[in-house]
Amino acid sequence: MTVFQAIIIAIVEGITEFLPVSSTGHMIITTSIMGISHAEFTKLFTIAIQFGTILSVLVLYWKKFFQSINFYLKLFVGFIPAAVFGILLSDWIDSLLENVIVVAIMLLLGGIVFILIDKWLSKSEHKTEEELSFPKVFKIGLFQCIAMIPGVSRSAATIIGGVTQGLSKKQAAEFSFFLAVPTMFAATCKKMLDYYQSGITFGAEEWKLLAIGNLVGFIVAIIAIKSFINFITKNGFKVFGYYRIIVGATIIILYFMGIELTII
């Protein structure tokens, strides 16, 4: 992997991680077009740079994370379903990760859902996350579990879950960012540990690429989050529905063209 490739991957990760468009689908397309999707370091790189995107949420919403213990308790309750189902369904999830067509189909279906419910989302009640009871937060956590199916998008699932519990579009999006911190951190640490236990090692050049990737991902994610909040407040989610359909169709086209596609 070159520095240029690392920067491009980090930019794609920073843009797509918190948008309801599936970062997995974009990683498949980006790394496959570059011809580096099968490299072990590529897989490790796309996982490790998630630390940079997680940090972007902490920096943007740092006041929220110093607000009250109740905030952390609700994040913990929302995180529980993903933790439990992640352990119980790990083998099933791994089997899905071997099929890029699953990602494409989930992107297409998710796109259709966003288009169909956009009008309903615009009529959602305006509540803040503090007004949510623990049972409602738990339900949003259950929605997040749907994102264990590659291509669904963790952001998309939790945003829809938040709206079903009475949050506005902006509030649902922001709560999905907050819930991403413990969920992504735990998942990323787990995958990094798996790589470490497998005996994979790398040198100074790889460490440099990881540093660059995390820095670029951090900066781009901050811009993406701010832009996303402003966009959905004015325009809703329909455009993301159409975009998901385009990305899903692209993956299917690349697949049937014989281009090797690998899920990261």
Contact between 231 and 173 under an 8 Å Cβ cutoff? The reply is: no
| Residue 162: pLDDT over 60 | yes
| Residue 251: pLDDT over 80 | yes
Q: What pTM was estimated for this model as a whole?
A: 0.80
SS3 38: coil
SS3 236: coil
- Is residue 258 classed exposed, middle or buried when 0-12, 13-18 and 19+ CB atoms within 10 A define those classes? exposed
Residue 39: DSSP 8-state: -
Q: How confident is the model at residue 23 (pLDDT cuts 50, 70, 90)?
A: confident
Give the residue extent of every domain in the chain.
3-256
Determine the Cα–Cα distance for residues 93 and 13; give it in Å rounded to an integer.
21
The neighbour count for residue 129, using CB atoms within 10 Å, is 22
Work out whether the CA dihedral 240, 241, 247, 250 comes out positive or negative: negative
Q: What is the reported pLDDT for 125?
A: 47
| Residue 264: pLDDT over 60 | no
| Residue 104: pLDDT over 90 | no
22 versus 91: the higher-pLDDT residue is: 22
Determine the Cα–Cα distance for residues 204 and 220; give it in Å rounded to an integer.
24
Looking at residue 224, its amino acid is A
Determine the Cα–Cα distance for residues 141 and 179; give it in Å rounded to an integer.
8
Determine the Cα–Cα distance for residues 42 and 37; give it in Å rounded to an integer.
6
pLDDT per position as a tens digit, 186-209 = 878 877 787 777 777 777 888 899
For the chain, what is the total number of helices (H) and then of strands (E)? 12, 0
Q: What is the reported pLDDT for 263?
A: 55
Distance of alpha carbon 96 from the chain centroid: 17
Determine the Cα–Cα distance for residues 247 and 35; give it in Å rounded to an integer.
18
pLDDT per position as a tens digit, 219-249 = 999 999 989 888 887 777 888 889 989 988 8
223 versus 68: the higher-pLDDT residue is: 223
**Residue of 4, 26, 10 whose CA lies nearest to 221:** 10
Contact between 106 and 152 under an 8 Å Cβ cutoff? The reply is: yes
pLDDT per position as a tens digit, 110-143 = 888 888 877 665 554 454 444 678 888 999 999 9
Distance of alpha carbon 225 from the chain centroid: 12
Determine the Cα–Cα distance for residues 261 and 42; give it in Å rounded to an integer.
13
